[in-house]
Structure 1
Amino acid sequence: MGGAVHAVTSSLAAPAQTLPSPEGREGWAVATTGLALLCLVLTGMRHDVFFGLTTGLALAVVLLPLWAPWVRSSRWITWMTVLGGAAAAWSIWLTVWHSDSRVVSNVGLLESVFVVLGLVCGVGCALWARSRASVWVVGAVFGIGMLLGVNPSSEMYAESPWRFGFSLPVTIIVLAVAARWRSRWVDVVAVLALAGVSAVSGGRSTSAILLLVALLVLWQSWGRPASSGLAALRTVILFGTLALGTYFSVQTAILEGALGESAQARTELQLATSGTLITGGRPEIGATAALMSASPGGFGGGSVPSMTDLLVAKSGMAALGYEPNNGYVENYMFGSGFELHSVIGDLWAWCGIPGLVLAAVLLVFLVARTAVLTTGRAASALLLFLGVKSVWNLLFAPLESALPILVLAVALMAPLVRPVGKASG
């Protein structure tokens, strides 16, 4: 028992290791490095080919023999892969189980399975690429893929091209390039500049996350690196304190008009609706809680919500002061499937208990690794942003839109050792 506890503690406390330098630059080594980077670009683009099957996932399946050994390079990744496979299979089983009481959408089922497999395969390919290129190169190439995947024809893009198009890709690319210099001051300047652009564009959550990242980068300048579990726990408490402080500071600034009249009006309305900015801005929390209480086992990715499901969800949202009788709830959230606007909620609704366990493992991993890297004074602004943003997405963003950032965060933050049988370069 003591040995098992020590093994888990060691896994949590281990810093993200620097892998041996990339293998030779000629022949097969060059080809495989190019394939790994191409897979990164396509994974970041998320170009849909067939009902959720993207070009990145298709290439990842073809290249499975090359990246599969890296799944064993971290216990975290191994467990996530197993849980991801179980969650995808469970989505199919749940859909069949509920087919007697709900309409089945084959398109929805395929999309749910492909999204979950996209997480598993995307992380595997990104780990493989990380073994052949520097962390900052992996981040920059992935960001370029996300940039190429921006859709200018979407309605949200027309509303705000920065917030709903370029913000995340540009942030990833800028912070990846900043990480190349290994300077905290370069990181801070880059983060604050990006926070300013997001604030001007009305991006409340993104600007708050970037401000929190800047504080964490600066905090690493004080004290010495530590690797104990107690030090990591203290860092988690620090995260919570800084997050609350940043939340209330940004909220006050918004209400005073610092982010413009539009952001001020939205914030005032959300506060008036439910009393807090979180529940006012994310009433889907009420729907998720109500559905979990009514049907703890989930529904399946191909199950179309029944009228009973819709009424249960609406009652949960109404309890938060939100008026749910609108097109958003009936068409977007429950029109053709379950979309609960959080990674945790979507994984549970689509994949049941295995999906919920996978979400819990992802949450623990992200918090633990962010704390460990920060405590060891080894976290760049890029890693901190990926970690904090992914935790936010687990709670408040749809799985499909959160997938690219989540893939990159897991792959770059995981502690790695070279798999047995892989020769050093």
Structure 2
Amino acid sequence: MTSSLPAPAPALPSPEGREGWAVVTVGLAGLGILLAGLDLDVYLGLTAGAMLAGAFLPLWLGSVRGSRWTVALFLLVVACLVADAALSAWMAGSRVFSRVAFFESVFLLIALAFGIGWILWARKLLPDWGIGALFGVGLLLSVNPGSELFPVSPWKFGFALPVTVLVLAFAMRARSRWVEIVALLALAAVSAVSSARSGAAVLVLVLVLVVWQSMKRPTTSRGAALRTVLFVGALAVGTYFALQAAILDGAMGDEVRERTLVQLDTSGTLIAGGRPELGATAALMGAQPAGFGGGTMPSMHDLQIAKSGMAGLGYDPNNGYVENYLFGAGIELHSVVGDLWAWYGLAGLALGVVLAVFFVSRVAMLATSRSASALVLFLGIKGMWDLLFSPAESALTTLVLGVALLAPAAARVPRPTVPFV
């Protein structure tokens, strides 16, 4: 009679082996965050960070399902890619098609989606302040002193965003409202003396919200969140008029005062005078509601429509700006929502609206529960500003970090003890 022995159980990795792999994983996550902040262009807008995320797609893709917000955003990104190709092909019959502009619009969406997905996965391994710090280092490494506008104001056109993200990330690490308040005061002061009007306004708004959080008890009710939305809206309006009055009194220097006076005389409001592209966007939307497609080069008729919209705000568009910047290499409307609509049509407009609702609702919920750090508030408010007033290409990095850090976090996985975390 023979007896059979049970098959030996497969050997499990040793604790040392598991810890070694975890260290590698944490390092890989950190590298991807650094590259996302660096935004290093490899080919027609395809970034090194997007390439790394694409190579490890199965590693992080499941993290997107952790929030309904991110699922909706990813579905809209797919819809935008389809709409981009369809609109570009449709408009090619009446306008010139640009392969370069088309691939740039495609790769921008890929960088946005892959960057958000990567950081959502990285949040299981790294603390939020560490992610912000690594991203800030990437932003700092991407500063280009040779750019055309850098000599005009190195802070405004170079160091403002990287330093703000870095400082607020380390303030988040300190877990002290006082540290955040002091950091915001210093950053707002530097922005003010550097003629960065919008940057100073955003930082002042964040400062007031940080102070307000420390004075209220936390709550999670929807009614309280709605009241927070109304409070932030009223606060934004108040900050706008207070900053405008301070500028006109010379608080930010004579050059900024004169520029502000010209913009007010031109259009009646500082926003319309400073962002006449809003007139071009409204006029083009009225003439071509379906959008154009990322690969479409505008016609002379489109150019005239845009100019008429800007002229309606009191701006003189016959200065080469429209021909050389807005329509020089495609369609650029100097706002994320405008660019999304122009490149991806109604799907892009829907993506812009969802991003706006996301930032408003998440800032309100986190502020109401008194759990919003200065970094998160800054990213949320700056995200809302960028959606309306910043080109999609330059706003990409902040949108990536903002969406990823404001989204509900998934549960963290055990990780090794390493100095950084």
Specify the alignment match of 1:276 in structure 2: 269
1:296 counterpart SS class: coil
How many Å separate the matches in 2 of 1:213 and 1:24? 44
Of residues 294, 298, 301, the one that matches 1:301 is: 294
Q: Is the 8 A contact 2:129 2:173 kept in 1?
A: yes
Deviation per CA, 1:348-375: give whole Å up to 9, x if none: 0000011110111000000000000000
The question of 1:330 aligning with 2:313 is answered: no
**Equivalent residue number for residue 261 of structure 1:** 254
Letter in 2 for 1:338: I
Whether the 8 Å CA contact 1:24–1:30 is kept in 2: the answer is no
Q: Any runs of at least 4 consecutive aligned residues in structure 1 with deviations exceeding 2 A, and if so which? A: 23-26, 422-425
Between structure 1 and structure 2, the one with the greater Rg is 2
What is the CA-CA distance between 1:223 and the residue it aligns to? 2.3
Bigger mean CA deviation after superposition, 220-229 or 272-281: 220-229
How has the CA–CA distance of structure 1 residues 300 and 377 changed in structure 2, closer, same or farther, with 3 Å as cutoff?
A: same
Letter in 2 for 1:46: D
RMSD: 1.3
Does 2:341 match 1:348? Answer: yes
Question: By how many angstroms is 1:202 displaced?
Answer: 0.3
Match of residue 33 from structure 1: 26
Which residue number corresponds to residue 189 of structure 2? 196
User: 1:391-410 to 2 correspondence within 5 Å?
Assistant: 391-410=384-403
1:220 Cα offset (Å): 0.6
Question: Residue 159 of structure 1 aligns to a residue in which SS?
Answer: coil
**What whole-Å deviation, never above 9, does each CA across 1:116-146 have from its counterpart, x for those lacking one?**
1111000001111111110100001000001
Q: How does 1:202-241 map to 2 (within 5 A)?
A: 202-241=195-234
The TM-score with structure 2 as length reference comes to 0.93
On the 8 A contact 1:342/1:393 being kept in 2, the answer is yes
1:417 offset after TM fit, Å?
Answer: 3.2
Aligned residues: 400
* 1:100 match: secondary structure: coil
Q: Percent identity?
A: 59
The one-letter code sitting in structure 1 at the alignment partner of 2:146 is: S
CA distance in 2, matches of 1:391, 1:47: 24
Of 363, 369, 382, 2:362 maps to 369
Q: Deviations over 1:28-80 (max 9, x none)?
A: 11111111111111111111111111111111111111111101111100110
What runs of 5+ residues in structure 2 fail to find an aligned partner?
Answer: 1-15, 416-421
In the other structure, the counterpart of 2:3 is none
Confirm or deny: 8 A CA contact 1:88 1:117 kept in the other structure: no
Residue 185 (structure 1) shift: 1.0
| Contact 1:136-1:177 at 8 Å conserved across structures | yes
**Could you give the per-residue CA deviations for residues 214-266 of structure 1, whole angstroms, max 9, x where no partner exists?**
00000011221110111000000000111111100100110111001111111
Report what 1:7 is aligned to.
none
Matching residue of 1:10: none
- Pairwise CA distance, 1:25: 7.8
Q: 1:165 aligns with which of 158, 168, 185?
A: 158
1:321 counterpart (314, 338, 343): 314
The AA in structure 1 aligned to 2:222 is: G
CA–CA separation in structure 1 for the residues paired with 2:17 and 2:340: 41
Change (3 A) 1:231 1:307: same
Residues 85 and 117 in structure 1, CA contact (< 8 A), matched pair in contact too? no
For residue 49 of structure 1, give the secondary structure of its aligned residue in structure 2.
strand
TM-score after normalising by structure 1: 0.92
